[in-house]
Amino acid sequence: MADDLVLENVTKRFGAVTAVDDLSVTVPQGSFFALLGASGCGKTTTLRMVAGLEELTSGTVRLGDKDITGLRPYRRPVNTVFQSYALFPHLNIEDNIAFGLRRRGIGDVAKKVADMLDLVQLPGFAKRRPAQLSGGQQQRIALARALVNEPRVLLLDEPLGALDLKLRRQMQIELKRIQTEVGITFLHVTHDQEEAMWMADTVAVMNDGRIEQLGAPTDIYEFPASPFVSNFLGQSNLFAADVSGTDGDDLLLTAHGERFAAPTTRARSTDGRVWLGVRPEKVRLAVPGEDTPATHNQVRGVLTDTCYAGVSTEYLLKTPWGQEMSVFSANAAAGEPLAPGTEVVAHWYPPHSFVLDRPTGEGDEIARYSADPLGVSP
Amino acid sequence: MTALAGAAAGAGLTATPPPPVPRRRRWIPYVLLLPGGLWLLLFFVVPSVQLAGTSLYDRSGSLELGYTQTFAVGNYVDAIAAYWPHLVRSAVYAGIATVICLVLGYPLAYAIAQKSGRWRNLMLVCVIAPFFTTFLVRTLAWKSILSDNGPLVGIFRAIPFVPDDFRLLATPAAVVCGLVYNFLPFMVLPLYASLERLDGRLLEAAGDLYAKPATAFRRVTLPLSMPGLIAGTLLTFIPAAGDYINAELLGTPNEYMIGNVIDSAFLVRLDYPQAAALSFLLMATILVLVFGYVRAAGPDEVV
């Protein structure tokens, strides 16, 4: 579309460090687009390059047909909601929101400011100072100050990072509502995978200056492209496996002497060394003797940990080859959670599996790709 | 003396009321105020009252014969009539010196606060370094720098169209130069303190909101450094207006400021009532100017 934000081969180096590495991405007009990644992955640098606050080492940034790569920030039709809010402490709320309008000489400031205060649900705050507002209120004002300029793209740099959990949930819903209402392209940077999944139409998972996977939250979650993504967005159990053949539409795999099946359509690699993955909540537990569907993939094991978390119970079990596997079980049925030490059979429907490429060397000695490699997922 | 009075007045203007404290701790602020308060009472309030009395003595008396305490308001009228040019000159010289200090000091303070990186502390030391030498010696050094056979005048005289009798010493420019030099750190340090707190992200936000760098400076940097700017200009203007060393060493009687007149009235002419009256006139002039200035320039919090 006319107003897509396009980054082409964007690279940013700080001295010897490459923060953003040959990144190309198109943010469709009107979408809620999340850049998700751990701190230091280059997501904020990418955002700042779109805002014009950081110069590109190479590459181009286009907005619609226009190349904005070299434009100074004040000449770009984009606005930013800063992580620290960066409200002007010497101006009241009204003057803060009106700042951008006045710089461009746009009239009807009072009405626009009042409309914005209504939009962020803080009417009557016009004459207050930023210091008199709570964090959540300042966050809304920062949003209003950026939105009032009707930017072609709104950039949000971890805008909810400083808020407590409850307020963050509330603001996530609020942001989603506002985005739907104003229809402006939102480019949202976050390290919170739930936040990204919750709000964005499209999520780009960044790692080490590159985009590892881009797509709708459900697509990324259900069929991750790499071990990193499979464990950054939620958790995954990954087993080092080898493809041993096919059976109709299914791929047959061998891992640690056990046989598994997965649909070919759920495989990123169909021969040689692969990772067999499954999400913990897709796995069900049976005690020995209990019937399990014959077609299901099965792993025997002993429970090592049982963690009751209200809506679900999180089990950790040890496989015969010494790998730990997690299983989330919804607390829908009556009865006590299984106790640690219980022998169980973990089984799952083969189409819930996913198969990823496993380069030489990976997974040969690692018993299990850690469920939380960076310590970032909750 | 006058500088002290002015500074105290300035401090009073910028002080904010203490925040409310729990009832049982009410006495703590008073205890904290006590040492400084006592000091000011003994060495500022008492001498001021004494000086106010002196300024109203009958001038027909003398130091040997003693003075009679009267209510001779005429002393003030006489003092203004005789020395108003010196008062005006003091305000003008101090004003010019303050403006020059601001023009020199703001970029300097900005550079140290925002751009100096690891050189910051060294640069701050350089700003303060002149204080390691006494005021008098530094001013005497200027005397030789500006002197007729000094290097600076030689350079100027080498420029075509500059007359051969061009001189720097013993001119108003020399006095203002001396004032600027001696009081520049008083401008730079408060400015540095407020510019150092300036959050660079606010300037990024201003740029993001369509403010060009010059506009961002005018709308964000300048207002946020206003407390430092006001403190700096007051700390420069007030002592500069009462200074007499620079006029004494770098000027002639034609450049004498009110400080020189008070000095000679006290110590040479021994006209105590007039000297006291002049001191109060200086204090009043400074207070009026400073008050007007702070009202005009200050953000709401300062007044």
CATH number at residue A300: 2.40.50.140
**Nearest alpha-carbon partner for A208 in A46, A16, A37:** A37
Q: How much is the pLDDT for A306? A: 92
Q: State how far residue B217 is from chain A, nearest Cα, in angstroms.
A: 13
Neighbours of B176 (CB within 10 A): 24
* pLDDT for res A2: 74
**Structure confidence at residue B160 (pLDDT):** 85
Mean of the per-residue pLDDT values of chain B: 88
Cross-chain residue pair B204–A53, CB shorter than 8 Å: yes
Taking an 8 Å cut-off on Cβ atoms, the answer to whether A103 and B208 are in contact is no
Instruction: Of B63-67, B132-136, B288-292, give the lowest mean pLDDT range.
Output: B63-67
Contacts of A88 in chain B (CB under 8 A): 202, 205-206, 220
For B212, the closest chain A residue by CA position comes to A74
Q: Please tell me whether residues A110 and A253 are part of one structural domain.
A: no
In the predicted model, is pLDDT for residue B13 greater than 80?
no
Edge-to-edge strand order for the sheet containing A210-215?
A: A78-81, A153-157, A185-190, A32-36, A202-207, A210-215
Mean pLDDT (whole number) for B8-24:
53
The tokens 């200035």 sit on which residue? B293
**With 0-12 CB in 10 A as exposed, 13-18 as middle and 19+ as buried, what is A375?**
exposed
Q: Count Cβ neighbours within 10 Å for each residue of A314-324 and write b for 16 or more, e otherwise.
A: bbbbbbeeebb
pLDDT in tens, A323-362: 999 999 988 877 788 889 999 999 999 999 999 999 887 7
By Cβ distance, the residue of B201, B210, B220 closest to A74 is B210
- Of A193-202, A258-267, A344-353, A357-366, the least confident: A357-366
> How confident is the model at residue B193, as a pLDDT?
94
Question: Is pTM, for the whole model, over 0.90?
Answer: no
Domains and CATH numbers, chain B: 2-297 (1.10.3720.10)
Q: pLDDT tens digits for B159-214?
A: 888 887 888 889 999 999 999 999 999 999 999 999 999 999 999 999 999 999 99
Digit-coded pLDDT (tens) for B75-92 = 999 999 999 999 999 999
pLDDT band at B19 (very low <50, low <70, confident <90, very high): low
Domain boundary among A177, A192, A222: A222
pLDDT in tens, B222-234: 999 999 999 999 9
Set of chain B residues whose Cβ sits within 8 Å of the Cβ of A145 = 209
Which residues, 6+ apart, have CB-to-CB distance to B28 below 8 Å?
A: B21
Maximum alpha-carbon separation in chain B? 76
Chain A contact probe: residue of B210, B215, B217 with most A CBs at under 10 A = B210
Cβ count near A247 (within 10 Å):
10
Mean pLDDT of A182-197: 92
- Specify the pLDDT at position A354: 95
Contacts of B205 in chain A (CB under 8 A): 80, 82, 86-88
What's the CA gap between B118 and B112, in Å, rounded? 10
- The answer to whether the CB atoms of A103 and B215 lie below 8 A apart is yes
Closest residue in chain A to residue B220, using alpha carbons only: A88
Residues A281-304 have pLDDT tens digits of: 999 999 888 888 989 999 999 999
Residue pair A313/A329 in contact by the 8 Å Cβ criterion:
yes
Domain-embedded: residue A376: no
- According to the model, what pLDDT value does residue B164 have? 79
pLDDT for B298: 67
Mean pLDDT of A238-265: 92
Q: What per-residue confidence (pLDDT) applies to B64? A: 79
**How far is B205 from chain A, CA to nearest CA, in Å?**
6
Question: Residues A262, A294: one domain?
Answer: yes
Distance CA(A256)–CA(A319), nearest Å, equals: 10
From A84, A90, A103, residue closest to B299, measured CB to CB:
A90
List the domain range (segments joined by +) for residue A251: 235-357
List the single residue in A52, A72, A99 with the smallest CB-CB distance to B209. A99
pLDDT at residue number B261 = 94
User: Closest Cα of chain B to A80: distance in Å?
Assistant: 7
Residues of chain B contacting residue A54, judged by C-beta atoms under 8 Å apart: none
Place B17 in a pLDDT band, splitting at 50, 70 and 90: low
Same domain assignment for residues A102 and A138:
yes
SS3 B228: helix
**Count of CB atoms within 10 A of residue A150's CB?**
15
User: Which of the four pLDDT bands, split at 50, 70 and 90, describes residue A365?
Assistant: low
Q: What is the pLDDT of residue A62?
A: 95
CA distance, residue B227 to nearest chain A CA (Å): 11
In chain A, residues 40-69 whose CB comes closer than 8 Å to chain B: 51-53
Whether residues A317 and A179 fall in one domain: no
Verify that A141 and A256 share a domain, yes or no. no
Of the CA atoms within 13 Å of residue A274, those in its CB half-sphere come to: 27
A68 neighbourhood in chain B, CB within 8 Å: none
Phi, psi of B201, deg, nearest 5: -70, -25
Residues of chain A with Cβ-Cβ distance to B220 below 8 Å are: 88, 90
Using alpha carbons only, what angle is made at residue B160 by residues B157 and B164, rounded to the nearest 5 degrees? 40
A143 touches chain B (CB under 8 A): no
Percent of chain B with pLDDT over 70: 90
Number of domains in chain A: 2
Residues of A in contact with B212 (CB under 8 A): 72, 74
Which residues in chain A touch residue B207, judged by CB atoms under 8 angstroms apart? 52-53, 72-74
CA-CA distance, B37 to B31, in Å (whole number)?
A: 10
Q: Which residues of B have a CB under 8 Å from any CB of A?
A: 199, 201-202, 204-212, 215, 219-220, 223-224, 299
Question: Is residue A369 included in any domain, yes or no?
Answer: no
Of all residues in chain A, the one with the smallest CA distance to B213 is A74
pLDDT at A364: 67
State how far the Cα of B257 lies from the Cα of B2, in Å rounded to an integer. Answer: 13
**Chain B positions in Cβ-Cβ contact with residue A138 (cut-off 8 Å):** none
Query: Which chain A positions have a beta carbon within 8 Å of B215's beta carbon?
Result: 103
Confidence of residue B241 (pLDDT cuts 50, 70, 90): very high
Pick among A49, A83, A85, A99 to test the B interface (most B CBs inside 10 A): A99
* pLDDT tens digits, one per residue of A14-59: 999 999 999 999 999 999 999 999 988 999 999 999 999 999 999 9
Domain check: are A267 and A186 in the same one? no
Q: Which residue of A has its CA nearest to B222?
A: A90
Q: Is the same domain home to A41 and A124?
A: yes
Tokens standing for residue B226: 């206003």
* A40 & A187 share domain: yes
- Alpha helical stretches, state H, chain B: 2-14, 27-40, 46-55, 74-110, 120-128, 135-146, 151-158, 172-196, 200-208, 213-216, 222-242, 245-250, 258-267, 272-297
CB contact residues (below 8 A), chain A span 90-119, against chain B: 90, 99-100, 103-104
Residue % of chain A over a pLDDT of 70:
96
Residue A97 clears pLDDT 90, i.e. is over it: yes
Residue B22 has pLDDT above 80, yes or no: no
The answer to whether residue A89 neighbours chain B at the CB level (below 8 Å) is yes
Of A72, A78, A82, the CB nearest to B205: A82
Closest residue, chain A, to B224 (C-alpha): A90
- HEC string for chain A: CCCCEEEEEEEEEECCEEEEEEEEEEECCCCEEEEECCCCCCHHHHHHHHHCCCCCCEEEEEECCEECCCCCHHHCCEEEECCCCCCCCCCCHHHHHHHHHHHCCCCCHHHHHHHHHHHCCCCCCCCCCHHHCCHHHHHHHHHHHHHCCCCCEEEEECCCCCCCHHHHHHHHHHHHHHHHHHCCEEEEEECCHHHHHHHCCEEEEEECCEEEEEECHHHHHHCCCCHHHHHHCCCCEEEEEEEEEEECCEEEEEECCEEEEEEHHHECCCCCEEEEEECHHHCEEECCCCCCCCCCEEEEEEEEEEEECCCEEEEEEECCCCCEEEEEEECCCCCCCCCCCCEEEEEECHHHCEEEECCCCCCCCCCCCCCCCCCCCC
pLDDT at A377: 38
Q: Which of A51, A90, A100 sits opposite B210 (nearest CB)?
A: A100
Q: Within a domain: residue A330?
A: yes
Q: Cβ separation of B206 and A149 shorter than 8 Å?
A: no
In angstroms and rounded to an integer, the radius of gyration of the C-alpha atoms of chain A is 24
Residue A259 has pLDDT above 80, yes or no: yes
Residue A271 — pLDDT band, cuts 50, 70, 90? confident
| Interface touch A99/B212, C-beta < 8 Å | no
Residue B69 confidence class, pLDDT cut points 50, 70, 90? confident
- Residues of chain B found within 8 Å of residue A141, distances taken between Cβ atoms: none
CA distance B226 to B191: 8
Residue in chain B lying closest to A84 (CA): B201
Q: Please tell me whether residues A218 and A73 are part of one structural domain.
A: yes
| Cα–Cα distance, A32 to A26 (Å, whole number) | 12
SS3 state of residue B38:
helix
Give ∠ CA A338-A341-A344 in degrees, rounded to 5: 60
CATH of the domain at A100: 3.40.50.300
Q: Please check whether residues A30 and A150 belong to one and the same domain.
A: yes
B224 chain-A contacts, CB cut-off 8 A:
89-90
At residue B69, the 3 state secondary structure works out as strand
pLDDT given for residue B67 in this prediction: 86
Other Cβ atoms closer than 10 A to B291:
13
Amino acid making up residue A295: T
Spell out which residues of chain A touch residue B209, defining contact as CB-CB under 8 Å.
74, 79, 99-100, 103, 145-146, 149
| Best residue in A76, A103, A152, A156 for a mutation probing chain B (most B CBs within 10 Å) | A103
A295 and A165: one domain? no
In this structure, the answer to whether residues A153 and A246 fall within a common structural domain is no
pLDDT at A367: 42
| Res B294 pLDDT > 80 | yes
In a domain? residue A364 = no
List, for residues B98-157, the tens digit of each pLDDT value. Answer: 999 999 999 999 999 999 889 999 999 999 998 898 989 999 999 988 988 888 888 888
